[in-house]
């Protein structure tokens, strides 16, 4: 077993985050491209190359700063650009593009959990520990991004079915960009934290028991 704060543990966590983040962002672009929007393709984001999805500030410097300040680490990849007015099905098409990311993470978690169950990999082994970390990270990305607060992915699903006044309010919040995420993380997320943790644990227990 490895200590999550050891060098090996940090490498495992960072590697799992890199894979989860890269597939999440790439699938946004792939689905947008399938629905008629070539913005991500033109930006070179239809790729599983993690270097294309890393942002120096939000992916590397921000989590390191938060760790140094003894705060919960938070990171974000470079958002995949897309034009919601160019995709098919309008708001519902934009929702499909948004949901592609978190549901890819959920699919990865399910696939690896099935692999563990079918292989009979023993609990307590290093391989089990590494794969368990990968599953937990992908579940966490799924649950967090499904929160319907702009600009998180779940907000696109809410936007597609929301009345016009709520849509306008969501547009105003999203216009703040990364500032809206900071407000959410430090003001709203502490209130939602127990629910998010419970959802993470519930899905993990369903997959691995």
Count: domains in the chain: 1
User: Rounded to whole angstroms, what are the CA distances from 119 to 5, 113, 139, 167?
Assistant: 28, 10, 21, 47
Specify if 150 maps to a domain. Answer: yes
Task: Evaluate if residue 17 carries a pLDDT over 80.
Answer: yes
193 with 201: CB under 8 angstroms? Answer: no
pLDDT bin (cut points 50, 70, 90) of residue 62 is confident
Residues labelled as active-site residues: 25
Specify if 135 maps to a domain. Answer: yes
**CA-wise closest residue to 28 among 14, 54, 48:** 48
Task: Evaluate if residue 8 carries a pLDDT over 90.
Answer: no
Specify if 2 maps to a domain. Answer: no
Specify if 27 maps to a domain. Answer: yes
Domain that holds residue 55: 7-208
pLDDT bin (cut points 50, 70, 90) of residue 67 is low
pLDDT in tens, 152-193: 999 999 999 999 999 999 999 988 877 887 788 778 878 888
Specify if 1 maps to a domain. Answer: no
pLDDT in tens, 99-111: 999 999 999 999 9
pLDDT bin (cut points 50, 70, 90) of residue 28 is very high
First to last CA, the chain: 19
């Amino acid at each position: 077993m490895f200590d999550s704060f050891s060098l090996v543990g940090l490498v495992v966590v960072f590697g799992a985050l890199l894979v989860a983040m890269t597939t999440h962002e790439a699938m946004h672009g792939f689905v947008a491209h399938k629905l008629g929007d070539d913005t991500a393709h033109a930006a070179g984001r239809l790729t599983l190359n993690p270097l294309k999805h890393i942002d120096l500030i939000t992916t590397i410097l921000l989590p390191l700063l938060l760790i140094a300040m003894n705060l919960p680490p938070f990171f974000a990849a470079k958002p995949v650009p897309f034009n919601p007015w160019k995709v098919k099905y309008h708001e519902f098409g934009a929702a499909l593009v948004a949901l592609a990311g978190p549901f890819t993470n959920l699919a990865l978690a399910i696939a690896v959990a099935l692999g563990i169950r079918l292989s009979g990999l023993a609990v307590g082994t290093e391989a089990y520990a590494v794969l368990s970390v990968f599953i937990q990270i992908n579940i966490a990305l799924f649950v967090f991004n499904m929160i319907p607060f702009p600009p998180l992915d779940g907000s696109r699903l809410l936007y597609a079915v929301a009345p016009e006044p709520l849509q306008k309010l969501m547009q105003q919040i999203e216009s703040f960009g990364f500032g809206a995420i900071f407000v959410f993380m430090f003001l709203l997320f502490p209130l939602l934290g127990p629910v998010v943790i419970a959802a993470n644990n519930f899905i993990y227990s369903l997959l691995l028991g």
